[in-house]
Amino acid sequence: MKTHVETTINGETVECLIDPSSTLLGMLRNDLGMTGTKEGCGSGDCGACSVVMDGELVCSCLVLGVEASGAAIETIEGVADRDQLHVIQEKFLEHAALQCGICTPGLIVSTKALLAENPNPTEEEARYYLAGNLCRCTGYDKIIKAVMDAASAVQEA
Amino acid sequence: MSEARQFQHIGQRTIRPDGFDKVTGRANYGADFSLPGMVWGKILRSPYAHAKITKLDISKAEAHPGVLAVATHQDLPSVNAEAFAAGETAMDVLDLARNVLADQKVLYHGHAIAAVAAKTEAAAEAALDLIEIEYEVLTPVVTLDAAIAAGAPVLHEDMLTQGLDQPATEPSNIASRMELKKGDVEAGFKEADIIVERVYETPTVHQGYIEPHATVVRYDDKAPSLVWASTQGHFDVRAAVSKLLKMKLGQIKVIASEIGGGFGGKTTVYLEPVAMILSKKSGRPVKMVMSREEVFRASGPASASRSKVRIGAKQNGELVAMEASLHFEAGAFKGSPMGPGCMTIFTPYDVPNMYVEGFDVVLNKPKVAAYRAPGAPQAEFAAEMAMNELANKLDMDPIELRLKNAAKEGTQTIYGPKLKQVGLIECLEAAKQSPHYQSAIGDGCGRGLAAGFWFNIGGQSSVTLNLNPDGTGTIIEGSPDIGGSRASMQMMAAEVLGIEPSRLNPLVADTETLPYNQTTGGSRTTFATGMAVIEAAEDVVSQLKERAAALWNVTTEQVDYKNGVALNLAGDDQMTLAEICAAAEKTGGQISGRANVNARGAGPSFAVHLCDVKVDQETGKTDVVRYTAIQDAGKAIHPSYVEGQYQGGAVQGIGWALNEEYVYSDDGVMENAGFLDYRIPLASDLPEIETIIVEVPNAFHPFGVRGVGETGIVPPLGAVASAVSDAIDTPVTKIPCSPPHVLSMILNRD
Amino acid sequence: MVAVTYHAPTSLDEAVALLSSSELPAKVLAGGTDLIIQMQKLVTEQRLIVDLKKIDGMQSATLSDEGLTLGPSLCCAKLTRRDDIKAVFPGLVEAAYLIGSSQVQGRASVGGNLCNASPAADTIPALIANRAVCQIVGKAGERSVPVESFVVGVGKNCLEPDEILKAIVIPHPGKATSDAYLRFIPRTEMDIAVASAGASISLDSDGICTDARVAIGAVAPTALVVEEAAQKLIGQPINEAALEAVSQAASDASAPISDRRGTAEFRRHVVGVLAKRAVMAAADRAKEK
């Protein structure tokens, strides 16, 4: 029997009827049509499904949809302000920090969470914080350069 | 032909045109697509590595109210053994049919047997239990030695080894043998002062793309059936579905979604033909997405290998002979990249005497697929380790040893052609001068290096370039973009047309919009599709000149076109591209260029990588502390994406050398089928990956381009493993250099 | 994925009542980072899921002069931000910090890690080294169990089906005592421990060890206390001989298996290396206190 879930996503109240065994990832992608958050593994090992839930960075594949009731969720769809990209998104593009782009939404959400917690990370801190975001295309070099540049840019702003 | 010249747009670091969609989550990948009425398909997979199917009864499943369709091998029309191209490898249609849905025999744990379509994923998964199936379990063949042993259980009763001097009369697990030779190795070895001879081994590894295989298929009787697929080659998906289901090419429309990584692993089909059957039988669109576990167990990893290598040199470092015997694991069906392995292994070296023998071996593991320069990393790893050991024995710098014997223009390769101008020497010199090589090796660290080679391919690409009345336009090309190639297409067209790249929108069109385009692979896209883009743009330029001529009432010969402006040589009129487009209606209709190429003259790309590692001598843990990737790009169209290819290939190779391997039980079950225990490198595992782009232009591309996507994965295996050898003062002959293996070498060294 | 009936009670009594009366097999949910993965492997089964996170006290962490009372469902990310707790129990906090990625940290809890009872669980050797006690509540009332007895086998804890871990109580270590936790993994993050060691060391003003507790993980069905290692340390300075003895004792106490993460020989060797390194790190921290 389906469960009614009311939650806030990127500032908007949203309702849906879901199978209680659904993960938050499944609820976002299949019930709400929000496919920006990706599934790479379904077991919390790749970070492609990263979202922020009540201020904490989480893997949405490891959260039940029903747990999102009453919570505030932030996804990749809420990072840009309509067509105005967030500085993190701009830096990713400037530094060519993406090739196939499948890990990019997860990485951008995670980078945003990193900079909220630690606005001036060292390169090592950035690499360790983002260790849960797998990328197979870039070797991470340009990603970390984009993250460090975004941190400076945010500080200067 | 290319000229050394100043480019206006080529070589800039533009923002990729598809970038906005990718950083906002709007880009649609394989699993992001839905159709009204869509249902889900799931696959029943073999629990045994090797078994006969003695009973397969789908009637209960079909009768279940929640099940909309069931598919088995019986739903595939019978096909014959027939080779057809798939990316850089050829595939046998009969083998493909039997891989996609098992025919009476299952040949690896996870082998697809049947599929069910139901309204939800959970319902489809649950319905698999309704399929009644019985097996006669056979002895699994899970190692190379077990596969080639006399009396080994045979996977295919009709497999007689091809390529033997005396034809085989009994079936075995050796699908084929190949031999390449140059000169006389026995005579060569007689001249050697030093010989290095070792056996090297590499494991089964996976390409590790983060996006699992996914497709949505809608069968249609009266109109082209629709296939939405995450693939490196949608035209080859069409060809595969056409062959397997005996549908005409025109009955199938394939749309390539954005693709979340492929590296060669998405140049074949697993789900699409099955989804097509389910869609036809259910009358509904069918979505199928592999789980991560299914990707590991049942897609196409890269061959494990064993290479016996023997090289000989004079005391002054001049190589006199190089010899190898290579065994490649093909998995359940024939077709490992043994051939390219044999062809590439010694190609970085100009040596008069070479002999290479290769064996393609089947065993009860998933059928291998291409992985970035398929065959070359495995084979060249062995050669490069032997070369480094030789340098050590000769007390010679390993770069100097390679410079002394480096392949160059005119070198006769073992596989036939003579090399045209290539950049290995330039890469070796750049390595020698690099800040990395000039720096001292840190305390407790070891240093290694290796060279690498890949041929690159050209092949068929078709492009249309359409201009709008306001002078903007679209580049319609057919190469799925796996790494940012649309940015380069934009720049190449812009260079020819003399306009800002952002005025042209490049898009990857479906199989109905363009003629056949070869799969994105073989490092062909910037080279061959780029060539087609350039030709299509040149076609546009000649039309622009004609239209300007018409407007000025002069002949076409009296019109020149430079930097986006047509010039009347017989007067002093000029018109911009946009102005000519605005007047197109008046001068005969809209302006659109096209090119269909079968590009020849792909230039090989050589590379040299340097690696410093630190090994914890008490635990065997190895950390990469410095890494430099140096590679010849011919001409870097977009330097950031060229660097990105170097870095990505390097890190995949680092993973292959340090921690990645399929771990199998004695029963042939993969024990680490997930990203937790199949350990690809993390951001925290790595230092900066320094890059040096060498440019020795390829004379056969208008801008000098060489493909760069693949070579970069070749050197890291040897660079990392020889750095470990240096750090622990013991020659490494087997990768991955996982901590237990390294610790064991440390504890057992003399 | 299983068919789920989900409840989020707001009191322990309600939670215990749900567990006691359930006809379906029931599981409690804290962070879900183990449970949700386990549930995915079950296709046609049904489960009652009792989410504990809305119960008062389950996500709190109170530090006093007596020690730390830790709510079992507090996520590691929140725990590891507590500088006050880190100052007193650096090893325990570093163990909690090592569980998974930043994303896993946002959900996983010390209580969940303990109750899941993996032989390689990161928090358990550190909890044992710190002499933690588990407070349990069930339909029969409350009871306490020392943490080294809480886990009884691979993936098995001592809780009855109606019981819930209510709090983990860790006594204040006192002056000149500190702890450390180290684990061996092939990469730098994300991996399950191949071998691990937790240590708590007390020193006197001359640097002689007055108390020691060493625990090892991932080398036996459960984490183990290595009594012999403590015996070799107490009354000694933390010198090379003592550390070698600790190393040997840890290796000898281990009973590892060979699997996809390491061979038995490798684990036996490395746990010895980690034990001595953990003792050294704890001793260095104790000196600074």
> What pLDDT score was predicted for residue B83?
76
List b or e across B728-743, with b for residues whose CB sees 16 or more CB atoms inside 10 angstroms: beebbbebbbbbbbbb
CB atoms A136 and B208 under 8 Å: yes
Domain membership of residue C65 (yes or no) is yes
> What pLDDT score was predicted for residue B2?
46
Confidence band, pLDDT 50/70/90 cuts, at residue B82:
confident
Domain final residue pick, C121, C142, C171:
C171
* CATH code (residue A93): 1.10.150.120
Which residue of B42, B121, B291, B679 is the best one to mutate when testing the C interface, meaning the one whose CB has the most C CBs within 10 A? B679
Amino acid (1-letter code) at residue B692: I
- Domain extent, residue A137, equals 87-156
Contacts of B505 (CB under 8 A, 6+ apart): B17, B472, B473, B474, B475, B490
Q: Kindly report, residue by residue over B505-542, the tens digit of the pLDDT.
A: 999 999 999 999 999 999 999 999 999 999 999 999 99
CB atoms B24 and A76 under 8 Å: yes
Of B118-127, B273-282, B554-563, C251-260, where does mean pLDDT reach its minimum?
B118-127
Residues of C in contact with B738 (CB under 8 A): 186
Residue C3 has pLDDT above 80, yes or no: yes
Nearest-CA residue of chain B relative to C45? B126
Distance, in angstroms, between A116 CA and closest chain C CA?
A: 13
**Token representation of residue C285:** 């921290």
Domain final residue pick, A17, A49, A78:
A78
- The total of structural domains in chain A comes to 2
Q: Supply angle C-alpha C38, C42, C48, rounded to 5.
A: 80
Of chain B residues 14-33, which have a CB less than 8 A from chain A? Answer: 15-16, 18-20, 22-29, 31-32
List b or e across A126-135, with b for residues whose CB sees 16 or more CB atoms inside 10 angstroms: bbbbbbbbbb
Can the peptide bond before residue B736 be classed as cis, meaning omega within 30 degrees of 0?
yes
- The total of structural domains in chain B comes to 3
**Residue for token pair 């306009």:** B499
**What is the distance between the alpha carbons of residues B285 and B217, in angstroms, rounded to a whole number?**
6
**What is the distance between the alpha carbons of residues B363 and B367, in angstroms, rounded to a whole number?**
9
Q: Are residues C211 and C146 in the same domain?
A: no
Chains linked to A by 3 or more Cβ pairs within 8 Å: B, C
Helix (H), strand (E) at residue B200: strand B194-202
Residues of C in contact with A41 (CB under 8 A): none
Q: Kindly report, residue by residue over A36-74, the tens digit of the pLDDT.
A: 999 999 999 999 999 999 999 999 999 999 999 999 999
CB atoms C106 and A57 under 8 Å: yes
Domain final residue pick, B559, B574, B599:
B599
CB atoms B684 and C186 under 8 Å: no
Average pLDDT for C35-58: 92
Residues A73 and A9 sit within 8 Å (Cβ to Cβ): yes
Q: Are residues C65 and C114 in the same domain?
A: yes
Q: Are residues C158 and C193 in the same domain?
A: no
Q: Are residues B283 and B347 in the same domain?
A: no
**What is the distance between the alpha carbons of residues B657 and B675, in angstroms, rounded to a whole number?**
17
**What is the distance between the alpha carbons of residues C267 and C244, in angstroms, rounded to a whole number?**
17
Q: Are residues B585 and B700 in the same domain?
A: no
> Which of A46, A96, A140 faces B210 most closely, judged by CB atoms?
A46
> What pLDDT score was predicted for residue C44?
76
Residue B80 has pLDDT above 90, yes or no: no
Residue C40 has pLDDT above 90, yes or no: no
Q: Kindly report, residue by residue over B607-630, the tens digit of the pLDDT.
A: 999 999 999 999 999 999 999 999
Which residue of A18, A30, A64 is the best one to mutate when testing the C interface, meaning the one whose CB has the most C CBs within 10 A? A64
SS3 B222: coil
Q: Which carries the bigger pLDDT value, residue C1 or residue B667? A: B667
In B4-153, beta strands by DSSP E: 39-45, 51-57, 67-72, 83-86, 89-92, 105-106, 112-118, 132-137
List b or e across B422-443, with b for residues whose CB sees 16 or more CB atoms inside 10 angstroms: bbbbbbbbbbbebebbeeebee
Residue B434 has pLDDT above 90, yes or no: yes
Q: Are residues B612 and B522 in the same domain?
A: no
Q: Are residues A8 and A34 in the same domain?
A: yes
> Which of B122, B679, B681 faces C1 most closely, judged by CB atoms?
B122
> What pLDDT score was predicted for residue B6?
87
* CATH code (residue C185): 3.30.390.50
> What pLDDT score was predicted for residue B750?
67
* CATH code (residue A39): 3.10.20.30
Domain membership of residue B196 (yes or no) is no
Q: Are residues C120 and C181 in the same domain?
A: no
**Residue for token pair 């140096």:** B630
Using the Cβ of B685 and the Cβ atoms of chain C, whether some distance falls under 8 Å is answered with yes
Q: Are residues B432 and B482 in the same domain?
A: no
Residues B451 and B607 sit within 8 Å (Cβ to Cβ): yes
- How far CA B43 is from CA of B219, B294, B331, C234, in Å, comes to 19, 9, 20, 60
**What is the distance between the alpha carbons of residues B710 and B453, in angstroms, rounded to a whole number?**
9
Residue B86 has pLDDT above 80, yes or no: no
Nearest-CA residue of chain A relative to C189? A131
**Token representation of residue B477:** 């090309």
Which residue of C4, C246, C248, C270 is the best one to mutate when testing the B interface, meaning the one whose CB has the most B CBs within 10 A? C270
Q: Kindly report, residue by residue over B454-491, the tens digit of the pLDDT.
A: 999 999 999 999 999 999 999 999 999 999 999 999 99
Q: Are residues C118 and C82 in the same domain?
A: yes
- How far CA B380 is from CA of B102, B344, B370, in Å, comes to 34, 7, 16
**What is the distance between the alpha carbons of residues C230 and C250, in angstroms, rounded to a whole number?**
10
Distance, in angstroms, between C271 CA and closest chain B CA?
A: 10
* CATH code (residue C71): 3.30.465.10
SS3 B474: strand
Domain final residue pick, A34, A57, A78:
A78
Q: Kindly report, residue by residue over C69-122, the tens digit of the pLDDT.
A: 999 999 999 999 999 999 999 999 999 999 999 999 999 999 999 999 999 999
- Domain extent, residue B92, equals 33-138+211-260+266-298
Q: Are residues B326 and B288 in the same domain?
A: no
**What is the distance between the alpha carbons of residues B652 and B649, in angstroms, rounded to a whole number?**
5
* CATH code (residue B523): 3.30.365.10
- Of B243, B348, B298, the closest CA to residue B668 belongs to B298
Contacts of C191 (CB under 8 A, 6+ apart): B676, B679, C185, C261
Q: Is the dihedral of CA B240, B244, B245, B246 positive or negative?
A: positive
Using the Cβ of B59 and the Cβ atoms of chain C, whether some distance falls under 8 Å is answered with no
Share of residues in chain A with pLDDT > 70 (%): 100
Q: Are residues B278 and B293 in the same domain?
A: yes
Domain final residue pick, B599, B623, B643:
B599
Chains linked to C by 3 or more Cβ pairs within 8 Å: A, B
**What is the distance between the alpha carbons of residues C233 and B537, in angstroms, rounded to a whole number?**
79
**Token representation of residue B454:** 């890949």
Domain membership of residue C116 (yes or no) is yes
> What pLDDT score was predicted for residue A117?
97
CB atoms C37 and A43 under 8 Å: yes
Residues of C in contact with B744 (CB under 8 A): 265-266
Confidence band, pLDDT 50/70/90 cuts, at residue B110:
very high
> Which of C44, C270, C273 faces B129 most closely, judged by CB atoms?
C44
**Residue for token pair 């659109």:** B592
Q: Provide the greatest CA pair distance for chain B.
A: 88
Q: Are residues C182 and C124 in the same domain?
A: no
Domain membership of residue C56 (yes or no) is no
- Of A58, B680, B464, A149, the closest CA to residue C105 belongs to A58
Q: Are residues A71 and A93 in the same domain?
A: no
Confidence band, pLDDT 50/70/90 cuts, at residue B42:
very high
Q: Kindly report, residue by residue over B339-351, the tens digit of the pLDDT.
A: 999 999 999 999 9
Nearest-CA residue of chain A relative to C8? A67
Q: Kindly report, residue by residue over B537-555, the tens digit of the pLDDT.
A: 999 999 999 999 999 999 9
Residues of B in contact with A143 (CB under 8 A): 683
> Which of A67, A113, A131 faces C189 most closely, judged by CB atoms?
A131
Q: Chain-wide mean pLDDT for chain B? A: 96
Residues of C in contact with A53 (CB under 8 A): 106
Q: Are residues B729 and B607 in the same domain?
A: yes
Residue B689 has pLDDT above 50, yes or no: yes
Q: Are residues B334 and B410 in the same domain?
A: yes
Q: Are residues B485 and B435 in the same domain?
A: no
> What pLDDT score was predicted for residue B1?
42
CB atoms B24 and A99 under 8 Å: no
**What is the distance between the alpha carbons of residues B310 and B322, in angstroms, rounded to a whole number?**
6
- Domain extent, residue C87, equals 61-171
Domain final residue pick, C152, C171, C190:
C171
Written as one string, the DSSP assignment of B366-430 is PPP---SSTTHHHHHHHHHHHHHHHHHHHT--HHHHHHHHB--TTPBPTTSPBP-S--HHHHHHH
Domain membership of residue B164 (yes or no) is no
- How far CA B73 is from CA of A48, B114, B365, in Å, comes to 35, 7, 20
Q: Are residues B225 and B310 in the same domain?
A: no
* CATH code (residue B122): 3.90.1170.50
- How far CA A43 is from CA of A36, A50, A56, in Å, comes to 18, 12, 18
Domain membership of residue C251 (yes or no) is yes
CB atoms B675 and A144 under 8 Å: no
Residues B214 and B31 sit within 8 Å (Cβ to Cβ): yes
Average pLDDT for B236-250: 96
Distance, in angstroms, between B24 CA and closest chain A CA?
A: 6
Q: What does the radius of gyration of chain A's CA atoms come to, in whole angstroms?
A: 15
**Token representation of residue B80:** 């014959």
CB atoms B686 and A140 under 8 Å: yes
**Token representation of residue C269:** 């060797």
The reply to whether ipTM tops 0.95 is: yes
Question: How many A/C residue pairs have CB atoms within 8 Å?
Answer: 91
Domain membership of residue C160 (yes or no) is yes
Domain final residue pick, B599, B622, B649:
B599
Q: Are residues B81 and B225 in the same domain?
A: yes
Domain membership of residue C75 (yes or no) is yes
Amino acid (1-letter code) at residue B148: I
Q: Are residues C152 and C129 in the same domain?
A: yes
Residues C29 and C50 sit within 8 Å (Cβ to Cβ): yes
- The total of structural domains in chain C comes to 3
Average pLDDT for C1-16: 93
Residues B304 and B144 sit within 8 Å (Cβ to Cβ): yes
Domain membership of residue C248 (yes or no) is yes
Q: Are residues A64 and A38 in the same domain?
A: yes
Q: Are residues B337 and B310 in the same domain?
A: yes
Other Cβ atoms less than 10 A from the Cβ of B20: the count is 16
Share of residues in chain B with pLDDT > 70 (%): 99
Q: Kindly report, residue by residue over C180-237, the tens digit of the pLDDT.
A: 999 999 999 999 999 999 999 999 999 999 999 999 999 999 999 999 999 999 999 9
Half-sphere exposure of residue B58: CA atoms within 13 angstroms, side-chain side? 18
Domain membership of residue B9 (yes or no) is no
Domain membership of residue C39 (yes or no) is yes
Of A148-157, B28-37, B51-60, B140-149, where does mean pLDDT reach its minimum?
A148-157
Q: Are residues A15 and A64 in the same domain?
A: yes
Q: Are residues A94 and A74 in the same domain?
A: no
Using the Cβ of B343 and the Cβ atoms of chain A, whether some distance falls under 8 Å is answered with no
Q: 3-state SS string over chain C?
A: CCEEEEECCCCHHHHHHHHHHCCCCEEEECCCCCHHHHHHCCCCCEEEEEECCCCCCCCCEEECCCEEEECCCCEHHHHHCCHHHHHHCHHHHHHHHCCCCHHHHCCCEHHHHHHHCCCCCCHHHHHHHCCCEEEEEECCEEEEEEHHHHEEECCEECCCCCCEEEEEEEECCCCCEEEEEEEECCCCCCCCCCEEEEEEEEECCCCEEEEEEEEEECCCCCCEECHHHHHHHCCCECCHHHHHHHHHHHHHHCCCCCECCECHHHHHHHHHHHHHHHHHHHHHHHHHC
- Of B520, B536, B428, B535, the closest CA to residue B707 belongs to B520
**Residue for token pair 């890291």:** B716
Amino acid (1-letter code) at residue C189: E
Strand C46-51 with C26-29, pairing? parallel
Q: What does the radius of gyration of chain B's CA atoms come to, in whole angstroms?
A: 27
Using the Cβ of C112 and the Cβ atoms of chain A, whether some distance falls under 8 Å is answered with no
Half-sphere exposure of residue B565: CA atoms within 13 angstroms, side-chain side? 8
Q: Kindly report, residue by residue over C156-182, the tens digit of the pLDDT.
A: 999 999 999 999 999 999 889 999 999
Share of residues in chain B with pLDDT > 90 (%): 96
- Of B372, B596, B642, B607, the closest CA to residue B488 belongs to B642
